[in-house]
Amino acid sequence: MTRTNTEFTHKDGVSLKEHFDQRFTDIQRAVDKAEQTINTRLEGMNEFRAAMKDQQATMATKDDVNRVRQRLSDLETVADRAAGKADQASVDRVLVMSMIALGISVITFVLRLLGS
């Protein structure tokens, strides 16, 4: 088809306005879909960031761990001392019982000597 003028007519197909309207609609649809995809991805990233922040808030710091270690060391020292005192108390009880038994033995021996 040879045209002498440069006007685009309806006879030639869709009008230029319809063509650009369709292109604009297609582009807008693609932009909307891309925006939705990005928003979904950003929501996922925000959820991940919030989870990391929650996790960080519940984790112990190095100072916390050092304080717990010191406290455990102090408790172990107290427990060791208490065990040592308990052992000494046992030794003292056995010593007293031995002295009583020795005293009874001596009294029995003396009574047998005197009674014979």
Instruction: Give the tens place of pLDDT for each residue, 52-96.
Output: 999 888 888 899 999 999 999 999 888 888 777 767 778 888 899
Q: Name 18's Cβ contacts closer than 8 Å, sequence gap at least 6.
A: none
Quote the tokens at residue 108.
Answer: 């029995």
Q: Decide: residue 8, CB within 10 A, 0-12 exposed, 13-18 middle, 19+ buried.
A: middle
**How far is residue 34's CA from residue 22's CA, in Å, rounded to a whole number?**
18
Q: For residue 1, is pLDDT > 50?
A: no
pTM score of the predicted model = 0.41
> Could you report the per-residue pLDDT of 22-32, keeping only the tens digit for each?
999 999 999 99
For 7: left if phi > 0, alpha if psi spans -120 to 50, otherwise beta; the answer is beta
Selected residue with higher pLDDT from 116 and 46: 46
